[in-house]
Amino acid sequence: MDSGQHADRQSPGALRTFLGLLVMVAFVLGLSWFLRTFLLQAYEIPSGSMEETIMTGDMVFAEKVSYRFRDPEPGDIVTFQDPEIPGRILIKRCIAVGGQTVDINDEDGLVYVDGEPLAEPYTDGKPSYRLASDVTYPYTVPEGHVWVMGDNRTNSQDSRFFGSIPISSVTGRGALVYWPLNDFKLLD
């Protein structure tokens, strides 16, 4: 047997190995795309607008399943398309939904929904103030929209700045801080 015949017998094995590797890479990429599109998305928090709940630099998973079956509810932490900068995702807390009326009292620093002051332990006692914008109060959230605010009310551009956001721009529900490990926790 000459060496040419020996090489011909080995090349189908090498080709099979290469094709197997190619299929495995395609499967992993497809699975990753499926998970990011339909189940989970990872985000790094770029600002302090949600402190002390979520810290600058924390890595967060947002799950995408809940809002296929229900709309965001007050208290949910939501990720959504920035209404000001296309392609950028923000994370804030849903404060009110369509049909509810939001008011902010600059004297006592409280947020009122439908005339009732909200109990907001997640703000860590920071007062809420109106921001200089085109939003007028009291503000009735249109149907199909939500009013969102950062937990760090003194350092958050949110619905006080850009108004309510359409539910269609919500991309997920903040579910878990996974990094750094000392900040690991479920979000509520």
**What is the rounded distance in angstroms from the CA atom of residue 55 to the CA atom of residue 52?**
6
Active site residue 92: yes
Q: Are 89 and 171 in contact (CB under 8 A)?
A: yes
- Whose CA is closest to 96, among 58, 148, 159, 34? 148
User: Which among 3, 11, 49, 156 is annotated as catalytic?
Assistant: 49
Active site residue 49: yes
Helix (H) or strand (E) holding 149: strand 145-149
Around Cβ 175, how many Cβ atoms within 10 Å? 19
Q: Are 60 and 43 in contact (CB under 8 A)?
A: yes
User: Which among 92, 126, 128, 164 is annotated as catalytic?
Assistant: 92
**What is the rounded distance in angstroms from the CA atom of residue 22 to the CA atom of residue 131?**
54
Q: Which residue has the tokens 């109990």?
A: 119
Q: Are 78 and 98 in contact (CB under 8 A)?
A: no
- Whose CA is closest to 149, among 104, 107, 187? 104
| Positive or negative: CA dihedral 85, 86, 90, 92 | positive
Catalytic residue numbers read 49, 92
